[in-house]
Structure 1
Amino acid sequence: MNEARFNPRFDEWADSYDSVVAGRDPQYREVFAGYREILTRSVLALGLPPGSRVLEIGVGTANLTQLLRETGYRVTGVEPSGEMRRIARGKLPDLDLRDGHFLQLPAEETYDGMISTYAFHHLTEKEKGEALTGIRHLLRPGGRIVITDTAFLDTTSKRKIRLEAFEQGFDKVVRDLDEEFFPLLSEVGELFRCAGMAVEFEQLNRYVWLMKGEDVDR
């Protein structure tokens, strides 16, 4: 993975990110519709007891991290953008936060769960598979993965969303759909299976799906 692939965009977006997820940018309003509920549902999907060690990939501005800690989880976070890390540390100064990404994870620990929101689509399909395999090796037996991100039921759904964004003049959303790596659910399901995990899907808004994986081979 090119570590700097999207970092300039993340760095530019860092100061306005919380405003965007709150719905103040019309272009991204549907992408982040129900944002707080999406984060809450993602944390609930982990379903681990308080005190569990959780790895969060793509901390961003630490909105999900705050909920994880309020739930009682011990969180280690990784985030590739220096500007995002700056904001996250401002909110949670004592957070164990590392410079890293899906393919560069702290391997000195094992974890009860892994969670990520709005980040998995930055990986190519090959990288997604490598990431899931690597994460599984860091999970303790019975560990869980929750990935919540934009994905599509099928190519027809993806084309329809892009056409609507184009017709509305949402050039930033169209750019994202064209340049980033938003998967189909069938592709994600196969990647989880190849990594030795069962996966369940739940749609949370028009763009976003919750993907919950569990280890089935150990």
Structure 2
Amino acid sequence: MSVARFNERFDQWAATYDETVTDPTGEYAEVFAGYSRILARVADEVALPPGSVVVEIGVGTGNLTRELLARGYRVIGVEPSREMRQQAKRKLPDLDLRDGDFLHLPLSDERVAAFVSTYAFHHLTDEEKETALTQMAARLAPGGKVVFADTVFASEEERQACIEEARRKGHVHLLRDLETEFYPTLPVLETLYRRAGFAVSFERLNRYVWLSTAVRR
């Protein structure tokens, strides 16, 4: 299993990613609505003492990373896209940034207090999601957290409605994502967290994005 299937796309997107997430009129406007607020919400939800080790998976260009560093966490960044890593390093040259992904965590003996991620977990199939969550649970002490913000649908009917709307509006890139990425529904995602040993709660942040806060039991 590997999430490298999307690396080429993100290598190509790296130089313009920040423009996309702040564009209020583009195809992804609803996906990234309230982007800065979403990043701050994830960082606030970690709610751990300064100096705690927080592993961010899917660093991208480093936007969430800056929020985490501002709160005093020791951040280990994990990013599979070479071009995205280069963009993040330009912003945060001192960041501990490592090549890896949800299924291949480049960690040694670090005592991890939390795993965080935004706009990335949907690149995994449901089977891969469960594997990743199980691996993260093994790294966390009881009470350790997983805090993700990502596209999730309340139901399959909601997902299909978004697909039809994207098709009707001619949003070809968003439509491609909706038809090819592995966006879960809330009931499925809750089951995956529970099987991996987490108690999880959800909060909707915009039409597409939900905050998942999971605590290891």
TM > 0.5 fold call: yes
Correspondence for 1:103: 103
Q: Quote the Cα distance in structure 1 between the aligned partners of 2:116 and 2:4.
A: 22
Q: Quote the Cα distance in structure 1 between the aligned partners of 2:183 and 2:75.
A: 27
RMSD: 1.0
Matched residue of 1:93: which SS?
coil
Correspondence for 2:16: 16
Gaps of 5+ in 2: none
Report the Cα offset of residue 106 of structure 1: 2.5
Question: In terms of mean alpha carbon deviation, does 44-53 or 79-88 score higher?
Answer: 44-53
Q: Equivalent residues in 2 for 1:37-186 (5 A)? A: 37-108=37-108, 109-186=110-187
Report the Cα offset of residue 138 of structure 1: 1.1
Report the Cα offset of residue 97 of structure 1: 0.4
Report the Cα offset of residue 140 of structure 1: 2.6
Give the letter for the 1:92 counterpart: L
Question: In terms of mean alpha carbon deviation, does 200-209 or 155-164 score higher?
Answer: 155-164
Gaps of 5+ in 1: none
Q: Quote the Cα distance in structure 1 between the aligned partners of 2:201 and 2:76.
A: 24
* Identity across matched positions, percent: 53
Q: Equivalent residues in 2 for 1:23-38 (5 A)? A: 23=23, 26-38=26-38
Question: In terms of mean alpha carbon deviation, does 46-55 or 64-73 score higher?
Answer: 46-55
Report the Cα offset of residue 156 of structure 1: 1.0
Matched residue of 1:26: which SS?
coil
Report the Cα offset of residue 50 of structure 1: 1.2
Q: State the TM-score, normalized to the length of structure 2.
A: 0.97
Q: Quote the Cα distance in structure 2 between the aligned partners of 1:188 and 1:67.
A: 26
> Contact conserved, 1:19 with 1:25, CA < 8 A, in 2?
no
Report the Cα offset of residue 23 of structure 1: 1.7
> Contact conserved, 2:151 with 2:183, CA < 8 A, in 1?
yes
Q: Quote the Cα distance in structure 2 between the aligned partners of 1:107 and 1:11.
A: 23
Give the letter for the 2:168 counterpart: E
Report the Cα offset of residue 141 of structure 1: 2.9
Report the Cα offset of residue 24 of structure 1: 5.3
Moved over 6 A (4+): none
For residues 15-54 of structure 1, the C-alpha deviation after alignment (integer angstroms, 9 at most, x for no partner) is 0000000025610111100000000111111111111110
> Contact conserved, 1:141 with 1:215, CA < 8 A, in 2?
yes
In the alignment of these two chains, the number of paired residues is 216
